[in-house]
Amino acid sequence: MSNAPETLQYTKEHEWLSQSGDVITMGITDFAQSALGDIVYVQLPKVGDSVQAGAICGEVESTKSVSEIYSPVTGSVTEVNSALVSNPELLNSDPYGAGWIAKITLTSAPDSLLSAAEYIALTA
């Protein structure tokens, strides 16, 4: 069973997000990092990038495969987790904490975001 904190929202593409005002913090889920295996490289979006909900905004490379990161919302990237450049394994060890990927100032969020219970059901 996957670990999905109830305070977060999720996408079907295995990203999580938390919202504070009009800024969301996003990352990949515990389920995603587990499926990927040992993560060795993260291509982060750039500060100032405009991102669209459901569109590719980065990439995660593991010893098994390369996987796209999809933006869970539409908005503008205001901060990225530069610690992932030298420590991509943070995505494995702390996907909901130190392994966050980006902060996005929200323009709009899709109606398709999932609750923790819905995401757990999806990954069961």
pLDDT tens, residue by residue, 89-119: 999 999 999 999 999 999 998 889 999 999 9
Q: Find tokens 């590719």 and name the residue.
A: 56
User: pLDDT digit string (tens) for 8-61?
Assistant: 999 999 999 999 999 999 999 999 999 999 999 999 999 999 999 999 999 999
Side-chain-side CA neighbours of 42 within 13 Å: the count stands at 30
Per the CB < 8 A criterion, the answer to whether 117 and 9 are in contact is no
Q: Where are the domains of the chain?
A: 9-107
User: In terms of CATH architecture, what is 9-107?
Assistant: Beta Barrel (2.40)
Q: What is the DSSP string of 47-89?
A: TT-EE-TTSEEEEEEESS-EEEEE-SSEEEEEEE-THHHH-TT
